[in-house]
Amino acid sequence: MIQPRFTTAVIDNFLLIKYGKKNLNDIPSHVGVSPKVDDWNEWQEKMFRTMLSQLNFFYPKATVHVLTNEKHKDLKKLVWHYRPDLEPNHTAKFELYSLIDAPAMYLDTDIIIVRNFNKRQLTTKSPFNLYQLSSTRNLQTLCRKPLPAEAKQQFNCGMIWIPRPNIAITQELRSLKEEFFDEKDWIEANRAWFNNDEHPTSLLIAKYSLTMNQFREVNSFRSKCKYDDIFQMQSIHYTGVRNKKLFVKEYRELCKARVRIFS
């Protein structure tokens, strides 16, 4: 049996999100990429299926909970959480912080898992942990009114460890979004996504002085590492519209080469 190089962390629950888009009107013009909606949905479906395959390989005993706006039937350890009013955009992630009453790891489906999580990567005193920064921009530039705290770091929400879920987190994120990041034209004029959960989440972190434990090897951005570096990481995140086709291609290659990852 193939064994990982270190003692793995026990994770009993994983969270995913699955929704189809009817249009791509929420992609701001400054991104400069506008795929066809059918192509977008096809890529998302492929990535969702590959994530299920990865979790089955690395955590076969875990239950996978999927937040969705479409009806599906539960299958063994695959549990669907149907929300017909769920918005098909990043703000759907607000629901993750209270989706189930148990510790869980959320993953964007454009992530390739290279190794199991290590115990130290789950250690945190905060109610949740984010592993990488998306940028160091001052979030005040995205809001006309004064923010309740100085927030000059925007954390990436593609991977979220939630050891202490609480409905209060979900409620406050909704409130922060509505109060401070609700001017679409202003936000997109400042070259940011309007329906971005990272803005209110990063503000909440600053407001309560939460500590996010960062790891170079966890949720590492594909755009910032060479192909050969992938094998030294725990997980690789193919962020951005342009990287979805690359994800599908390299996932197949990494599956074939997976034996190189283990001793």
Is the pLDDT at 251 greater than 90? The verdict is no
pLDDT range class, residue 42, cuts 50, 70, 90: confident
Structure confidence by residue, pLDDT tens digits, 90-139: 999 999 999 999 999 999 999 999 999 999 999 999 999 999 999 999 99
* CB-based contact 133:158 (threshold 8 Å): no
Residue 78: burial class (beta carbons within 10 Å; 0-12, 13-18, 19+): middle
> What is the structure's pLDDT at 2?
40
pLDDT range class, residue 260, cuts 50, 70, 90: very low
Chain-centroid distance of CA 226 in Å reads 21
Is the pLDDT at 88 greater than 60? The verdict is yes
Structure confidence by residue, pLDDT tens digits, 184-226: 999 999 999 899 999 999 999 999 999 999 999 999 999 998 8
> What is the structure's pLDDT at 140?
97
Is the pLDDT at 257 greater than 60? The verdict is yes
Q: How many Cα atoms are found within 13 Å in the side-chain-facing hemisphere of 206?
A: 20
- Which sign, positive or negative, has the C-alpha torsion 260, 215, 124, 110? negative
133 Cβ neighbours under 8 A, 6+ residues apart: 153, 154, 155, 156, 214
> What is the structure's pLDDT at 222?
93
> What is the structure's pLDDT at 33?
65
Domain parsing of the chain, residue ranges: 13-258
Residue given tokens 């909606």 in the structure block: 37
User: Max Cα separation, the chain?
Assistant: 58
Q: What percent of the chain has pLDDT over 70?
A: 93
Structure confidence by residue, pLDDT tens digits, 145-157: 999 999 999 999 9
Chain-centroid distance of CA 53 in Å reads 17
Q: What is the mean pLDDT of residues 58-76?
A: 94
Let me know if domain 13-258 sits in CATH 3.90.550.10.
yes
> What is the structure's pLDDT at 248?
78
pTM over 0.85? The answer is: yes
b/e string for 179-203 if b means 16 or more Cβ within 10 A? Answer: ebbeeeeebbeeebbbbbbbbbbbb
The C-alpha atoms of residue 207 and residue 157 are separated, in whole angstroms, by 17
pLDDT range class, residue 163, cuts 50, 70, 90: very high
pLDDT range class, residue 233, cuts 50, 70, 90: very high
The C-alpha atoms of residue 116 and residue 7 are separated, in whole angstroms, by 9
What's the chain's average pLDDT?
Answer: 89
